[in-house]
Chains A and B, each alone.
Chain A
Amino acid sequence: DIQMTQSPSSLSASVGDRVTITCRASQSISSYLNWYQQKPGKAPKLLIYAASSLQSGVPSRFSGSGSGTDFTLTISSLQPEDFATYYCQQSYSTLTSTFGQGTKLEIK
């Protein structure tokens, strides 16, 4: 199975900050990496697919990069509505799918 590891597990930041979250795969997954945002009591929302492609309707302050085993999600200038938990997910394996453990982004 492909394991996904995110870091950090939690992060405190202020409005306007630039924030980076990292996701590492246990084996190469090319660019088969997606990022989701989840707010309390809500379903996850797709932000980025194929490592760096922005889902329609998602603000351009969100960006993704990486390939192989190491990936990053960057928020260029944090807005109040961005405080949430973020998950990466690999879609390299056509037989199964796995998520990272999540990164909780909190207000400093």
Chain B
Amino acid sequence: QVQLQESGPGLVKPSQTLSLTCTVSGGSISSGSYYWSWIRQPAGKGLEWIGRIYTSGSTNYNPSLKSRVTISVDTSKNQFSLKLSSVTAADTAVYYCARDRYYDSSGYYYIAFDIWGQGTMVTVSS
């Protein structure tokens, strides 16, 4: 049973870089056709997709965050990471890592977030 676990500082100062790591357990991050995503949720608000990475290193980012986001993968550690630079209070949120899984339905391939980490709260404050 694959599980995901986020880790990283819970408090980041404004203008600094937020750094989080997601550790994959119960399976190899390199096995299967999966992407690995970061998603965030401000308190009391909806979900915002941040970006994803494939184990080859190819990435897609949310256009609204693209200039500040870097997602990387370390297959030797079975981890992928998020860096968000120049943070402000608006970046305060629960950050989730998730697995993007491809499903074959009627000959077409669909992608969905099938496994999520428990989430980690990050507060941006001085």
Chain A residues proximal to chain B, CB less than 8 Å: 1, 31-32, 34, 36, 42-46, 49-50, 53, 55, 87, 89, 91, 94-102
Contact = CB atoms under 8 A, between A and B. Distances in A.
Nearest to A56: B114
What bracket does the count of chain B residues touching chain A fall in? 20 to 34
Contacts, number: 68
B110 A36 contact: no
26 contacts: A1-B63, A31-B108, A31-B110, A34-B110, A36-B113, A43-B116, A43-B118, A44-B47, A45-B116, A46-B113, A49-B110, A49-B112, A50-B105, A50-B108, A50-B110, A50-B112, A55-B112, A87-B46, A89-B49, A91-B112, A96-B63, A97-B49, A97-B52, A98-B49, A99-B48, A99-B49
Interface of B: 37, 46-49, 52, 60-63, 96, 98, 103, 105, 108, 110-114, 116-119
Given A95-B60, A96-B60, A96-B63, A46 B112 contact: yes
Q: Is the interface of B mostly helix, strand, loop or mixed?
A: strand
Contacts of B47: 36, 44, 87, 89, 99, 102
